[in-house]
């Protein structure tokens, strides 16, 4: 009975450990991406550990192991989406900037600072230095990794399946 509840709580405990480890590493190492990866790995290890503990008491099975790990992966992905919002969302950046400027910011200043070219420069920088998807040599951009391309193709396929053609903008 107790082991059954441990199994139910395992993904939530994994998520809690993911959060604590991510926060600790982000503050100690000052590297956001590294902290997210290590935090997720710690949470996964905790989830597997708890499932293995229940396995020892005979409650667990392959189905439950898969269910708990998948649930943890989904929760960790949700946490990553939340962190990523803080790292990449322009809207959040804008309101956080306004918080430090109580008298307000002029629209003209924002349009000057965040031109479409500036947006593109930041995106290319993230794709090159952050996620290392691109390499840049002699003024040309090359695809270095295929993970985001795979994501783009998957999303395109889902878009074609879900959103009716006539409604596509």
Partner 1 sequence: MKKPKPSRRMAALLTGIVLLATSFLAQLIVWRIRLPRRQTPALLVLFAIVPALGISADLLLGNSIPFSIAESLRIALFYTSFSLVYISIYSAIETESASLAIVTYVASAGSSGREDAEIYARFGSGSTIGQRLEQIERSGWTQSSGDTITLTPQGHFWAELFELAGRAFGLNLGG
Looking at residues 17 to 36 of the shown chain, list those that interact with partner 1 (rule: CB under 8 A).
22-23, 26-27, 30, 32, 35
Q: Is 137 helix (H, G, I), strand (E, B) or coil?
A: strand
Binding residue (CB under 8 A) for partner 1 from 20, 21, 126, 129 = 126
Footprint of partner 1 on residues 134-163 (CB under 8 A)?
134, 137, 139-143, 146, 148-149, 151-153, 155-156, 158-159, 161-163
Contact 116, 124 (CB under 8 A): no
Any contact of residue 56 with partner 1 (CB under 8 A)?
Answer: no
Is-contact 39 77, C-beta < 8 A? Answer: no
Q: How far is the CB of 45 from partner 1 (least distance, A)?
A: 19
Determine, following the binding rule CB under 8 A, whether residue 47 of this chain makes contact with partner 1: no
CB within 8 Å of 41: residues ≥ 6 apart: none
Query: Among residue numbers 98 through 117, which ones bind partner 1 (CB under 8 A)?
Result: 98-99, 102-108, 110-111, 114-117
Distance of CA 100 to the CA centre of its chain: 27
Work out the angle between the directed axes of helices 62-88 and 32-56 (0-180°, nearest 10).
160
Residues near 79 by beta carbon (within 8 Å), at least 6 away in sequence:
15, 18, 19, 22
**142 strand-pairing partners:** 135
Backbone angles phi, psi at 86, to 5 degrees: -65, -30
Sites for partner 1 among residues 65-94 (CB under 8 A): 66-68, 70-71, 74-75, 77-78, 81, 83, 85-94
Told to check if 119 binds partner 1 by CB under 8 A, we report: yes
CA distances to 40, 43, 115, 146 from 34, in Å: 10, 14, 30, 20
CB of 148 to partner 1, least distance (A): 5
The residue within the footprint of partner 1, chosen from 122, 125, 129, 132 (CB under 8 A), is: 122
Shortest reach from residue 17's CB to partner 1, in Å: 15
Work out how close the CB of 48 gets to partner 1 at its nearest, in angstroms, rounded to a whole number: 16
Least CB distance from residue 43 to partner 1, whole Å? 13
């Amino acid at each position: 009975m107790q082991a059954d509840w441990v199994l139910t709580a395992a993904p939530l405990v994994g998520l809690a450990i993911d959060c604590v480890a991510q926060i600790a590493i982000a503050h100690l190492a000052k590297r956001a991406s590294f902290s997210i990866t290590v935090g997720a790995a710690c949470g996964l290890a905790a989830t597997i550990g708890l499932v293995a503990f229940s396995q020892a008491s005979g409650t667990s099975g392959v189905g439950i192991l898969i269910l708990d790990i998948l649930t943890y992966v989904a929760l960790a992905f949700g946490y990553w989406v939340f962190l990523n919002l803080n790292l990449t969302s322009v809207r959040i950046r804008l309101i956080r900037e306004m918080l430090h400027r109580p008298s307000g910011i002029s629209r003209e200043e924002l349009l000057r600072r965040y031109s479409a070219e500036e947006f593109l420069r930041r995106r290319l920088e993230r794709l090159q230095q952050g996620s290392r998807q691109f390499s840049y040599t002699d003024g040309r951009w090359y695809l270095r990794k295929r993970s985001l391309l795979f994501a783009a193709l998957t999303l395109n396929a889902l878009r074609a399946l879900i959103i009716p053609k006539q409604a596509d903008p």
